[in-house]
Amino acid sequence: MQNETMNRMKELISTLNSASKAYYAQDMEIMSNYEYDRLYDELTALEEETGVTLSNSPTQHVGYEAIDELPKERHEKPMLSLGKTKNREELRDWMNGNEALLSWKLDGLTIVLTFFAGKLAKAVTRGNGEIGEVITNNAKVFKNIPLIIPFKGELILRGEAVISYSDFEKINSQIEDADAKYKNPRNLCSGSVRQLNNEVTANRNVMFYAFNLVKADGVDFNNSREKQFSFLKEQGFDVVEYKKVTPDNILEEIEYFEKKIEHYDIPSDGLVLLYEDIAYGLSLGMTAKFPRDSIAFKWADELKETTLKEIEWSASRTGLINPIAVFEPVELEGTTVSRASVHNISIMRGLKLGIGDRITVYKANMIIPQIAANLTGSNSVEIPDKCPVCGQPTEIRQINDVQSLYCVNPSCDAKKLKSFTLFVSRDAMNIDGLSEATLEKFIGKGFIHEYADIFKLSRYEDEITKMEGFGEKSFKNLINSIEEARTTSLYKVIYGLGIAGIGLANAKMICRFYKNNLQAMKEAQIEELSEIEGIGEVLAGAFYEYFKNAENTEQLEHLLNEITVVIENVNEAEQTLTGLTFVITGSLMHYGNRNELKDIIEERGGKVTGSVTSKTTCLINNDVTSNSSKNKKAKELGVRIISEDDFMREYL
């Protein structure tokens, strides 16, 4: 029996450490929080039962080793995890008659800030609790960290770097590639905080909320944690929202947070209870892993039992085929839920899923549907040996201890997703309502095989209006957008075809060179194409090869049967910027945005690029004396830097 128990402990340690490594070091999630907590609690119980704790047990170390991309530094004081409970009464009993502060437990990345002489001197991530990564330059561009504070002594504090749900959704909406989208705000925040280039961090809207004052030389807080929070507020820090509680009102205040989290924009996975009396809390000491002056409260997940109806297999452009559990609808946290991602083959096998099984489901952090447990465990789901999209063979691949299913067909329609995403984008056909995720669903259903099929989606009205996320109104909006896109310009069609290396500007140049004669463009030779300004032999070769492919030309003919191409008459006398190349940077005064000025230049035969080279005619920047990277490059290459007014006076 003892050997069996020890073997189980070793198995749990291996499983939990793999999940911890994926979560903390690789920003991946191979196990749900619910499952991790369940296995962790089982390991803790076995350690108490046996009196044995193995050296590599996750109960004895915190998090995972910091990666090597950033400098490492040892914390002045170890950053321990918190003991936790899901029992509200236990939380009240823990107070032992004392006052405490109840606050959010934010779900981001813990950061330690150090200030000297009133200035931010250092920022270090939590790392493994003893050694973290130095991210000072990145912290300086967080949206709400004060860089200079009134207090001039040494100040050390801890807080959580987070990205709000609304910013997370906004950032994800700008990523066209479905596989490149971030899984949750925490992963996005972790990657943003640990960037080598803090310009990326600055664009991510990272916020910082202080939750612990470690050191403030010479300041008397009268033994009060609340006064420490007030002090931090006076220095300009945003402090995590908290309530001062007693054993008499703590249950009532927990309900306050419970109601608020339904609409709270900042990711939180629970609450923290901290003794108000500093001396009393410190006098309790700590265990090997937990301080005794504070405890975490995690929401008791609302579990609902239901029946697994089917496993959908969703193919993506990378060939990855994800299993999605479809079950009898249940009400969870105020919404109806009927689907949950199972993520990969490893998790599906771990749950021993089978059609008709009774399962329990919950919402991770009260948001993301997950399967908690399988009460039947029939383990009868068959893994498809053929791709649901193309019908070609699949294979199981193991990467970093995780098994996943892949389609091996390089011509699978699902792998054409990127080309369809480009085709419907704003600069191409400009069709609203066809996000990459929606296109992926339509391709998976067999609605779209080639570009022309997009203009025939009205035939699938019944199926589409019944799909999740669609209804009659959204379907009507989509069809209206498709109808508007039927009339377009030739250069947008050429760009939308996704010919290797042919961007929007190049497509315009080619169309102008051939006076919008598509037949002449299809018959063009490499030598002739190479003569066009900005094309060159490589792009000319790609363009030539595209139109020599019979399948490509056939699909283009199908597309042309669905759309009307408006031929733009080019006035040669107005092509005053032919052969000239411009770069635009900085803010503009006379034009609404850079694209507006870019259109003016291209209408007159000019070209606009994103970087300064020796071929650049002028860099347009209203701040001609700035030390921006583009200005520096222009000066190095002897390229003129002109203002917007200079450009209008000299070239228009």
In degrees and rounded to multiples of 5, residue 329 shows phi and psi of -60, 140
Task: Write out the DSSP string of 110-150.
Answer: EEEEEEETTEEEEEEE-TTSSEEEB-HHHHTTSTT--SB-S
Burial 593-627 (b: 16+ CB within 10 A, else e): eeeebbebbbbbbbbbbeebeeebbbbbbbeeeee
Q: Map residue 18 onto helix, strand or coil.
A: helix
Q: Map residue 36 onto helix, strand or coil.
A: helix
How many angstroms separate the CA atoms of 242 and 228, rounded?
A: 13
How many angstroms separate the CA atoms of 309 and 328, rounded?
A: 7
Which one-letter DSSP state was computed for residue 597? H
Instruction: Name 504's Cβ contacts closer than 8 Å, sequence gap at least 6.
Output: 427, 491, 492, 495
Sort strands 402-407 and 304-315 into parallel, antiparallel or unpaired: unpaired
Which one-letter DSSP state was computed for residue 342? -
Which residue intervals of 377-489 are DSSP H helices?
Answer: 417-423, 436-444, 461-465, 472-485
Give burial (CB, 10 Å; 0-12/13-18/19+) of 267. Answer: buried
Evaluated on CA atoms 426, 428, 430, 435, the torsion sign reads negative
Beta bridge partners of 120: 115
Sort strands 402-407 and 394-399 into parallel, antiparallel or unpaired: antiparallel
Sort strands 109-116 and 100-106 into parallel, antiparallel or unpaired: unpaired
Matching residue, tokens 């069996």: 4
**From the candidates 84, 86, 105, 119, which is the catalytic residue?**
105
Known catalytic membership, residue 105? yes
Matching residue, tokens 């067909």: 409
Sort strands 294-297 and 83-85 into parallel, antiparallel or unpaired: parallel
The pair of three-digit structure tokens given for residue 46, joined into one six-digit string = 């076995």
Q: Map residue 344 onto helix, strand or coil.
A: coil
How many angstroms separate the CA atoms of 271 and 376, rounded?
A: 34
What is the Rg, in whole angstroms, of the alpha carbon atoms belonging to the chain? Answer: 30
The pair of three-digit structure tokens given for residue 100, joined into one six-digit string = 């405490």
Asked if 266 and 186 count as a contact pair (C-beta separation under 8 A), the reply is no
CB count within 10 Å of CB 39 equals 18
Beta bridge partners of 407: 394
Angle of helix 536-548 relative to helix 550-560, nearest 10 degrees? 80
The pair of three-digit structure tokens given for residue 466, joined into one six-digit string = 């019944």
The CA distances from residue 23 to 43, 168, 181, in Å, are 19, 18, 17
Asked if 432 and 484 count as a contact pair (C-beta separation under 8 A), the reply is no
List residues with catalytic annotation: 105
